[in-house]
Amino acid sequence: MQVGVTLNSAPEGPTGVITIEMESDIVRSRQMVRKLTRQLMFTLVDQTKMITAASELSRNTLVYGGGGEMRWEIVERDHQMGLRLAFEDHGPGIADTQLALTDGWTSGSGMGMGLSGSRRLVNEFDLRTAVGQGTCVTITRWKL
């Protein structure tokens, strides 16, 4: 298990990484996102949205990607603060991204809401994947 923080200018640091290798790491990622969204003074609704998206994407990283990491970055744009999370694995990748982003579709035994649901909960959503090379999902939520 790796938990790292760099550039300690804020209580949790503006950047960091959590390795996702087991179920307890999903909990750890949710706890970190909770701390970061509170630190940024997100509303309770926005905290919940970001924590939920992080939970879904952490689970996908573990279950479908075979493990990986969550990287976080506190970002600023036009005097607006935000939180960017990147979930990266080196698993099988996603062959059909359109299908994977369809509500209810799953390649496993889940409900098929992880990617599509997460996309609806955030302000920015980016999916990069290559079959046989892995997947990286980056999400950003801005403090409104």
* CA atoms of 116 and 105, how far apart (whole Å): 9
Q: What is the pLDDT of residue 104?
A: 62
Which structure tokens are listed for 89?
């694995």
CATH number of the domain where residue 119 is located:
3.30.565.10
Residue range 96-138, pLDDT digits in tens: 888 878 766 555 554 445 788 899 999 999 999 999 999 999 9
Residues of the domain holding 16: 3-142
Residue range 47-58, pLDDT digits in tens: 999 999 999 999
The whole-chain average pLDDT of the chain stands at 86
* CA atoms of 121 and 127, how far apart (whole Å): 15
Q: How many domains does the chain have?
A: 1
Task: Decide: pTM greater than 0.75.
Answer: yes
